[in-house]
Amino acid sequence: MTVEIEADYRPSDDEPFMNDRQREYFRNKLLNWKDDILKESKETLANLQEESQNHPDFADRASSETDRSIELRARDRQRKLISKIDAALERIADGSYGYCEETGEPIALRRLEARPIATLSIEAQEAHERREKVYRDD
């Protein structure tokens, strides 16, 4: 089912949580984000292929290799981000999007607006980070 969303629409706490308009809004937001990442990846690949020329100077070659390594790490992070976006799109399709995977409570719209791939409410996320810190400090 496709719901028409006005360009200036923003989800609000005044409407039922994860109604059709909100789900379509977040679906579009996630798809646009994914498209931007994929477009950026294609540009990076083109730049990396262009940059693969031989550098006679060792310093230039080292600098080029460092740049290439940084770009590849960034691409790997973006690849992981795309899988999180895909998972969020699946949650929209199955109706579980917007709900904390630990508590089942709704995730605040402001949090979803800022981080549309969020799977935990702020409270659950903070508890998760506190547990991580305790284990890290041991």
pLDDT tens, 10-61? 999 999 999 999 999 999 999 999 999 999 888 877 776 666 566 677 777 7
Q: What is the pLDDT of residues 49-59, one digit of tens each?
A: 666 566 677 77
The tokens describing 106, both together, are 């709704």
SS3 annotation, the chain:
CCCCCCCCCCCCCCCCCCCHHHHHHHHHHHHHHHHHHHHHHHHHHHHHHHHCCCCCCHHHHHHHHHHHHHHHHHHHHHHHHHHHHHHHHHHHHHCCCCECCCCCCECCHHHHHHCCCCCCCHHHHHHHHHHHHHHHHC
The pTM assigned to this predicted structure is 0.79
Is residue 111 predicted with pLDDT exceeding 70? yes
Predicted pLDDT of residue 85: 98
Euclidean distance between CA atoms 55 and 23, whole angstroms: 50
Would you say residue 76 has pLDDT above 90? no
Closest C-alpha to 23, from 35, 11, 13, 32: 11
Q: On the CB side of 28, how many CA atoms lie within 13 Å of its CA?
A: 14
